[in-house]
Amino acid sequence: MKFSKLSLAVAILACGTCVAGAADSLSEAFGNGNLSATIKATYADQTNENSAYRNEHIFATGIELRYVTDPLYGFKLGLSMQASGNPFSLEQNERRMFSRDWYANGLVLSEAYLEYLIGKTDIKAGRQYMQMPLVAGNYSRAFKESFEGVTISNKNIPKTEISGGWFYKFQGRTSHTATDKIGRAPYFKNKVVLGGYGPAAREFDNIYTANVISKPVEGLKLTGSYAHVSDYDFAANYKETDVNLYLAELNFITPIIFDILKLGLDINYKGSKLNGEFEKMHYDGDMLGVRASIKDFGGFGLSYAYTTVSDGDELIFGVGFGPGSYTSLPIRGPFAYTGYAGMDTHKVGLDYDFGKIGAKGLKANFQYSWGDQDVPKHRAGHTPAGQNSRIGGFSTGVKYAVPSVKGLNFGVTYTSLNKKIYNSGVKHKDFDQNEVWVQFSYKFDFSKDCCSIDLSSLGLEFARII
């Protein structure tokens, strides 16, 4: 049976049942639905001394339309369409450098789900954005990542949420994620990326995940998560391998102390275990992370984070490019170095909210990260035997949410990363990778921020079509 075709068919069939039973109520559900949009643009300029393309830049524009109906007998229909484009002509090197980031032209229906709410249980079937601890999409590039499958969450236990999911298709950030075609919108395919393994999506059979999140007392959050990817096709010369992923995390924020600040503590464990022929590539990694922070201290925030990875194995962070680490830098992300076998990484962060001195909506941040890798005795993931690396880098950014125009945001982020690679203690490579993003976005709600639209007529037309 082709399970990959079930969820959308179920959504349409169930909605059709609603049509047959209560057409007037269906019209009201659509008429009271919420239609919103986000318009965005990014200018990116990257210099990479370790790339054949060296220094290139790109300009990308995009729009996202989201529509969710009002509940009808517990059912809701959700739709999200993403579109992106590069309005100016690009040279070949620009296309190739940003082929998995910003070079993408076209549109994709990223969400098309039927949601059913009964009591404290929420069930979704179809295409949907996903932010579970170990199965999560990345939203930082031209297209948000999305998954197709079924999710369920329940809050019957006080202060606790139990959730799970089954997925069989994935949509990446551009077409180059899952195919050799570049410059197009991404597709839904039975291929998925694993954070920490590489930028290309590989074929898989099924993804399963289960999560428990508890908030037993104010300020304390406890998370446990497991994910399983069956028959993942790591490489052409290896048989398909099962991937098991684990996470345990504690997050704690104190109430305001002396009316001047809050203290935060975060501790997590992440692990990946492979069952199959690809085990010999040593991706059975374990990561321990700790972060301490001071928050809301006269507008200032300060943090220090540390992560360490097991010596003999590299870590796979999760499914999709959403899972992260405490010590990663913006733009470069956690997979550039923090999950390498034997890597010890540190990061300090400083941020300031200028609203404290009257500049409402203006925030700035600075982060500095450095790390040292132990030398593996055998090949460990991306690291050959006898090779190790040292990294150092920083990121600084400014964001401005315009107070007078709700939903209007501007931002500038600059990240610089230096990596030194050693073979048997002798420096082999020393290169920098620098990138700047200048970004704009405007999110608005048609039913509240724009002219009135008769959504009920749209709902009747949709019902007539299906």
pTM of the predicted protein model: 0.90
DSSP codes joined into one string, 146-212? EEEEEEEEE--STTEEEEEEEEEEEE-SSGGGTSS--EE---EESEE-EETT-SS-EE-SEEEEEEE
**Predicted local distance difference test score (pLDDT) of residue 276:** 82
Of 21, 39, 37, 40, the closest CA to residue 29 belongs to 21
Q: For residues 15 and 73, give the distance between their C-alpha atoms in angstroms, rounded to a whole number.
A: 11
Kindly report, residue by residue over 18-76, the tens digit of the pLDDT. Answer: 333 333 578 898 988 999 999 999 999 999 999 998 899 999 999 999 999 999 999 99
DSSP codes joined into one string, 78-147? EEEEEEEE--S---HHHHHHTTTTT-EEEEEEEEEEEEEEETTEEEEEEEE--B-SSBB---SSSS--EE
Kindly report, residue by residue over 389-447, the tens digit of the pLDDT. Answer: 999 999 999 999 999 999 999 999 999 999 999 999 999 999 999 999 999 999 999 87
Q: For residues 128 and 114, give the distance between their C-alpha atoms in angstroms, rounded to a whole number.
A: 10
**Predicted local distance difference test score (pLDDT) of residue 430:** 96
Relative to beta strand 104-118, strand 183-184 is parallel
Kindly report, residue by residue over 84-140, the tens digit of the pLDDT. Answer: 999 998 999 999 999 999 999 999 999 999 999 999 999 999 999 999 999 999 999
Token pair for 273: 């275990």
**Predicted local distance difference test score (pLDDT) of residue 21:** 36
What's the chain's length in residues? 466
All structural domains of the chain with their residue ranges: 3-465
**Predicted local distance difference test score (pLDDT) of residue 449:** 63
Q: What is the DSSP letter of 312?
A: T
Q: What is the DSSP letter of 462?
A: H
Mean pLDDT of 438-463: 67
**How far is residue 344 from each of residues 119, 143, 284, 339, 340, measured CA to CA in Å?**
46, 32, 17, 9, 9
Q: For residues 143 and 129, give the distance between their C-alpha atoms in angstroms, rounded to a whole number.
A: 11
**Predicted local distance difference test score (pLDDT) of residue 43:** 98
Q: Is the pLDDT of residue 4 over 50?
A: no
Whether domain 3-465 has CATH 2.40.160.10: the reply is yes
Q: For residues 360 and 299, give the distance between their C-alpha atoms in angstroms, rounded to a whole number.
A: 11
Q: Is the pLDDT of residue 466 over 60?
A: no
Q: For residues 312 and 304, give the distance between their C-alpha atoms in angstroms, rounded to a whole number.
A: 26
Mean pLDDT of 363-373: 98
**Predicted local distance difference test score (pLDDT) of residue 12:** 40
Please state, for a pLDDT cut of 90, what percent of the chain lies above it. 83
Kindly report, residue by residue over 176-211, the tens digit of the pLDDT. Answer: 999 889 999 999 999 999 999 999 999 999 999 999
**Predicted local distance difference test score (pLDDT) of residue 19:** 38
Between residues 459 and 377, the one the model is more confident about: 377
What is the distance between the terminal CA atoms of the chain, rounded to a whole angstrom?
23
Q: For residues 208 and 93, give the distance between their C-alpha atoms in angstroms, rounded to a whole number.
A: 38
pLDDT bucket at 258, cuts 50 / 70 / 90: confident
pLDDT bucket at 460, cuts 50 / 70 / 90: very low
Token pair for 3: 């399970």
Relative to beta strand 121-128, strand 104-118 is antiparallel
**Predicted local distance difference test score (pLDDT) of residue 16:** 42
Q: What is the maximum span of the chain, computed from C-alpha positions, in angstroms?
A: 75
